[in-house]
Amino acid sequence: MPRTKRGVKEDTRIFWSQVNKDAGNTGCWLWIGKKTPYGYGYTVFDGKTWVAHRLAYHLNTHNILPGKKILHSCDTPACVQPLHLWPGTQADNVADMDAKGRRGTIKGQRVGEKNPLAKLTDAQVAEIRQRYLGGNIMQKDLAREYGVVNSAISHIIRGKRFGGPDIRRSAKENSAAIRGEHHHEGKLAADAVKSIRIRYAAGGVKLHDLATEYQVTKQMIWRIVHRKAWVHVE
Instruction: Tell me the pLDDT tens digit for each residue of 12-57.
Output: 999 999 999 999 988 999 999 998 877 889 999 988 889 999 999 9
Q: List own/partner pairs for 217-225 with CB under 8 A and 24 or more apart.
A: 217/92, 219/86, 219/88, 219/92, 219/96, 221/196, 222/73, 222/86, 223/73, 224/188, 224/193, 224/196, 224/197, 225/196, 225/197, 225/200, 225/201
How would residue 108 be classed by pLDDT, with cut points 50, 70 and 90? very low
Dihedral, CA of residue 6, residue 11, residue 17 and residue 18, to nearest 10: 100
pLDDT value, residue 91: 67
In this predicted structure, the answer to whether residue 163 has a pLDDT above a threshold of 70 is: no
Give per-residue pLDDT as tens, 57-104.
999 988 888 878 888 888 888 999 999 998 887 666 666 655 555 544
Residue 96 phi/psi, 5° resolution? -65, -40
Minimum mean pLDDT range among 99-103, 170-174, 177-181, 202-206: 177-181
The most confident of the ranges 91-95, 158-162, 164-168, 208-212 is 208-212
Buried b (16+ CB within 10 A) or exposed e, 95-106: bbebeeeebeeb
| Annotated domain spans of the chain | 8-88, 119-178, 184-225
Q: How far is CA 25 from the centre of its chain?
A: 22
Cβ contacts of 156 within 8 Å, gap of 6 or more: 120, 125, 128, 129, 162, 164
Beta-strand pair 109-110/105-106:
antiparallel
Judge contact between 106 and 137, C-beta under 8 A: no
Segment holding 105, helix H or strand E: strand 105-106
